[in-house]
Structure 1
Amino acid sequence: MLPLLPDGAFTVVYADPPFNTGRSQTRAETSMRAHPLGEGDRMGFRGQSFTTVAGRLRSYDDVFGDYWDFLFPRLEHAWSLLADDGTLYLHLDYREVHYAKVMLDIVFGRECFLNEIIWSYDYGAKTKRRWPSKHDTILVYVKNPARYHFDASEVDREPYMAPGLVTPAKIKKGKLPTDVWWHTIVSPTGKEKTGYPTQKPRGLIRRMVTASSRPGDWVLDFFAGSGTTGDVARALGRRFMLVDSNEQAVEVMAARLGASREPGSAVRLVDGPDLFGPPSEAPL
């Protein structure tokens, strides 16, 4: 589906791939190219080329090779689909994020790295054999580091963690979020819950969409899952497309967003079971 979409159409691309999909993928050769324009391999890591680094990592860790072949082509598509002022948010956990950082440095360029966001939460089982894992990582890359859109004034502010150190006026206003986001998961018994196992909370996606897009901009999520990105984008006046190959995800999204196959519906199933978007304004 991604190759059918037009280049440069989306201001925000959010991707929340299955964290362990690479472990069951079959090995397939992929092309590597560096962006922005340049000849040969992008250099880094003590002067070594990224291709050389990737090759060594493949020989060291077979899982890396599998995950590379699964994710790398999709990141290349994400780069192409982003507008010149666009931003990619790639959501992963500790098992794969270091691999993905290498991939994004190749596809986007290290100069296009904007942030590593830590989403911290505190819910679920806790082991006593190691430090319990209670965070995900969101890598943020921009298409053009000189032109990307970012509007901090639109982001919902949050309470100060040490209110006694600031003035009453600042306490009332709240503070801008940093690159560490404290936000609860979707409550298992809350109204937001859809039943989809990897559903992300609205508040998390809202922060990304409000900061990195304007009303009327296009937002893309190509591992759309429960459809939270579309739900948030619609509420914020953004246009959106959601892509997912999982039939359960499509059913959940259709129910959540009121999607229909009818041409006049507000949110329409555009192309088979994989793509949602506004019917008359889709950039196809």
Structure 2
Amino acid sequence: MASDEPNRIIHADNLAVLPTLPAGRFTLVYLDPPFNTGRAQARQSTRHVRVPIPATANGELTDAAAPASSGTITGFAGRRYERIRGDLLRYDDRFDDYWAFLEPRLVEAWRLLADDGTLYLHLDYREAHYAKVLLDALFGRECFLNELIWAYDYGAKARRRWPTKHDTILVYVKDPERYWFDSSAVDREPYMAPGLVTPEKAELGKLPTDVWWHTIVSPTGREKTGYPTQKPEGILRRIVQASTREGDWVLDFFAGSGTTGAVAATLGRRFVLVDENPEAIAVMKGRFTDVAGVVFEDGRVSTAN
């Protein structure tokens, strides 16, 4: 992408758009996919066969090729993870529908990441643990960087279980030896027990850990766009600050209300946003009215005869 290329907001099915984008050009890919994909998904019952993984003479497991079956999926570096998928499906067959939707999009996201790039996958508690196991198999456990917990304190109170007040953000890097991460660029936060540190440290604040305490978007606050799944700018600001430099390209292809792009623009980053929901596009058109250098594109494929 040329340095003078405009920021883009594309109205389209992301899986149709992603193959048209150049490989290795995004330093950050942030994804907040919906669980309900908004479309009917046909299910076909399949038998998942375990792919044998031979061991070496010293007992270590290898990724050596096994006889292929019709459902075998080979990930990056030749990793096979049909066995893992099969095991997970024994516990929750609904996950296969979700993974069939999400997997090809994650593969594209990985292709689009720069060698020093980072993928942030934002999920709730229902899917995070499944996704972690499958992403380890697909991209390599060595590429896993963090499991971030975003904890918040607003919303309904459950009475028959502990109230669910957190999301999980899985963080994977394209190359464990080359990824960009600058903790010094991140806004610091107050100490939870300032009396336990010196006054100088208390005034400076501390760097965030992998547990982020941050409220949701206030229903009456400045950020509120009316989009139901809008995420706070503070969460995206921390991600963009840490994992990109000024001028880097950021991609979000479940863009929703456009928070990723809004934060990227404020911090001097470039962005591509994709969403197929007309309501999301309408919200972003209002949100980016005063942001220079933003182009809206209609990438939907006509089905007319």
Give the TM-score of the pair, scaled to structure 1.
0.86
Q: Which of 264, 267, 270 matches 2:294?
A: 267
Q: Which of 10, 29, 35 matches 1:13?
A: 29
Query: Larger Rg: 1 or 2?
Result: 2
1:140 maps to: 171
RMSD between aligned alpha carbons?
2.1
Q: Which of 104, 124, 128 matches 1:93?
A: 124
1:209 aligns with 2:240: yes
Extract structure 1 runs of 4+ deviating beyond 4 A: 28-31
**Residue deviations 1:14-45 (CA, integer Å, cap 9, x gap):** 0000034399533379873322x3x352xxxx
Identify unmatched segments of 5+ residues in structure 1. Answer: 42-49, 275-284
How far apart in 2 are the matches of 1:224 and 1:80? Answer: 19
Identical residues among aligned pairs (%): 68
**Residue deviations 1:99-157 (CA, integer Å, cap 9, x gap):** 21122112221000000000000001101100000000000000000000000000000
Q: Which of 238, 242, 247 matches 2:278?
A: 247
Q: In 2, are the aligned partners of 1:121 and 1:185 still within 8 Å (CA)? A: yes
In the alignment, residue 14 of structure 1 is paired with which amino acid? Y
Q: Which of 92, 95, 103 matches 2:134?
A: 103
**Residue deviations 1:153-196 (CA, integer Å, cap 9, x gap):** 00000000011100011011100000000001000001110000
Q: Which of 138, 145, 161 matches 2:192?
A: 161
Helix, strand or coil at the partner of 2:234: helix
Q: In 2, are the aligned partners of 1:75 and 1:107 still within 8 Å (CA)? A: no
Helix, strand or coil at the partner of 1:270: strand
Q: CA 1:23 to 1:251, structure 2 compared with 1: closer, same or farther past 3 Å?
A: closer
Q: Which of 73, 77, 101 matches 1:32?
A: 73
1:56 maps to: 87
Identify unmatched segments of 5+ residues in structure 2. Answer: 1-16, 47-70
Q: Which has the higher contact order (CA 8 A, sep 6+)?
A: 2
Helix, strand or coil at the partner of 2:146: strand
How far apart in 2 are the matches of 1:89 and 1:102? Answer: 15
The number of residue pairs the alignment matches comes to 260
Q: In 2, are the aligned partners of 1:159 and 1:175 still within 8 Å (CA)? A: yes
1:67 aligns with 2:108: no
How far apart in 1 are the matches of 2:273 and 2:72? Answer: 26
What aligned pairs does 1:113-262 form with structure 2 within 5 A after superposition? 113-258=144-289
Give the TM-score of the pair, scaled to structure 2.
0.81
